[in-house]
Amino acid sequence: MTTYLTTEELSQRIKYDTRTIRQCLMNAVLFEGVHYIRPFGGRKILFIWEQVEETMLHGASANDLINMMEG
């Protein structure tokens, strides 16, 4: 089962400010289509907890991220 979190919920889990998540982590270490989605093409962002946690615990190489983005 996939766990989707809002930015605020993710902030509580990883102990980072929501602004830090949006301005520093997104598109630097958290990537759209891998770590988060924008459902229905809207502005709302939902983070995929399992992917975020995996990257936090084990890191990810550039090749890993490319493979994950390609499917």
User: What tens digit of pLDDT does each residue of 20-65 get?
Assistant: 999 999 999 999 999 999 999 999 999 999 999 999 998 865 555 5
Q: Token pair for residue 32?
A: 């759209």
Q: What is the band of 10 on the pLDDT scale with cuts at 50, 70, 90?
A: very high
The residue segments making up the domain with residue 34 are 4-70
CA dihedral (18, 24, 25, 26) in degrees, to 10, reads: 90
Give the number of domains in the chain. 1
Q: Which residue has the tokens 């979190």?
A: 5
The structure's pTM equals 0.81
